[in-house]
């Protein structure tokens, strides 16, 4: 199974006048170029990703996330059927400002920087009753920035090889929103920091913190990781 780099890279070239998605529309917003960090932040704020899941930040990277089996691309709040996200996605992350180095809050911005990608559900059991929130669905770490120091060719050729090389701290748990719980936000977050210090959460529910709406924000702080980017989609059970 290929990573479809050309497919996901094309996302950044579409939709210059497309309206931003809001919680009511859940429409896909496709980036116009690589200098839209403030626009991406606005989408994250409008959909309460910034607030419920993350503290305020200015994205340094855009996440290209694709579910190739069903040709679904995660596009900042689009709707994706649950059946289409049963297999782990493939991904690529790229700086939003290619003419200058990314400027995260942390000091590590050289070629030795490593990244961690996570997937979390802040709406488990439901948006109105988030008693299981957040739910940890995936943690994959020891990722390198492909735009700075090209990784070996297999990095882009096989998600299986990618998983073996990068190391999954938590294996991919397919989204499975319960019946009659409405749309769930499934949030990918790119984090930067020393992967050797990353520890798995104690549990998937609440990321082991035992408190409602606690999760990746706490875990990132505990592991000294800085948020560099985020992307998300909506999914809901067919029984509503």
pLDDT at 57: 96
Tell me the per-residue pLDDT of 196-208, one tens digit each, with 9 for 90 and over: 778 999 999 999 9
What b/e sequence results for 74-99 when a residue is b if at least 16 CB atoms lie within 10 Å of its CB, and e otherwise?
A: bbbbbbbebeebeebbbbbbbbbeee
pLDDT over threshold 90, residue 9: no
Q: Which of 50-64, 67-81, 91-105 has the lowest mean pLDDT?
A: 91-105
Tell me the per-residue pLDDT of 156-166, one tens digit each, with 9 for 90 and over: 334 444 444 45
Tell me the per-residue pLDDT of 45-64, one tens digit each, with 9 for 90 and over: 999 999 999 999 999 999 99
Q: Which helix (H) or strand (E) holds 8?
A: helix 5-9
Q: Which of 15-24, 28-37, 83-92, 190-199 has the lowest mean pLDDT?
A: 15-24
Mean pLDDT of the chain: 80
Tell me the per-residue pLDDT of 113-163, one tens digit each, with 9 for 90 and over: 789 999 999 999 999 999 999 999 999 998 987 666 554 443 333 444 444
Q: For residue 18, what pLDDT band results from cuts at 50, 70 and 90?
A: very low
Q: Which of 30-39, 69-78, 137-146 has the lowest mean pLDDT?
A: 30-39
What are the structural domains, with CATH classification, of the chain? 5-235 (3.90.280.10)
Considering only residues 97 and 12, tell me which one the structure prediction assigns the higher pLDDT: 97
Q: For residue 195, what pLDDT band results from cuts at 50, 70 and 90?
A: confident
Average pLDDT over residues 65-82: 96
Put the strands of the sheet holding 168-170 in their side by side order.
78-79, 226-235, 184-192, 114-121, 135-144, 168-170
Q: What's the rounded Cα separation, in Å, for the pair 169 and 161?
A: 15
Cβ neighbours of residue 235 under 8 Å, at least 6 residues apart?
79, 80, 81, 82, 85, 175, 177, 183, 184, 186
Query: If we measure between CA atoms, which residue out of 154, 176, 169 comes closest to residue 200?
Result: 169
Query: If we measure between CA atoms, which residue out of 195, 201, 3 comes closest to residue 119?
Result: 201
pLDDT at 70: 94
- Residue 156 tokens, joined: 């882009």
């Amino acid at each position: 199974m290929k990573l479809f780099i050309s497919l996901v890279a094309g996302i950044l070239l579409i939709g210059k006048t497309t309206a931003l998605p809001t919680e009511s529309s859940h429409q896909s917003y496709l980036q116009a170029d690589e200098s839209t960090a403030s626009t991406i932040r606005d989408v994250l704020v409008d959909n309460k990703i910034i607030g419920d899941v993350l503290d305020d930040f200015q994205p340094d990277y855009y996440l290209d996330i694709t579910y190739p089996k069903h040709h679904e691309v995660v596009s900042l709040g689009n709707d994706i059927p649950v059946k289409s996200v049963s297999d782990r996605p493939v991904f690529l992350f790229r700086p939003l400002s290619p003419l200058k180095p990314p400027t995260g809050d942390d000091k590590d911005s050289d070629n030795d920087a490593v990244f961690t990608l996570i997937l979390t559900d802040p709406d488990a059991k439901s948006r109105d009753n988030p008693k299981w929130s957040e739910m940890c669905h995936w943690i994959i770490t020891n990722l390198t920035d492909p735009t700075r120091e090209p990784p070996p060719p297999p990095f882009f050729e096989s998600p299986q090889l990618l998983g073996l090389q990068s190391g999954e701290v938590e294996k991919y748990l397919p989204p499975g929103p319960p019946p009659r719980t409405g749309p769930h936000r499934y949030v990918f977050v790119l984090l930067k920091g020393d992967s050797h210090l990353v520890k798995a959460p104690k549990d998937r529910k609440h990321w082991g913190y035992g408190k409602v709406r606690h999760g990746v924000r706490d875990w990132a702080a505990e592991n000294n990781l800085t948020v560099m980017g985020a992307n998300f989609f909506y999914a809901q059970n067919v029984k509503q």
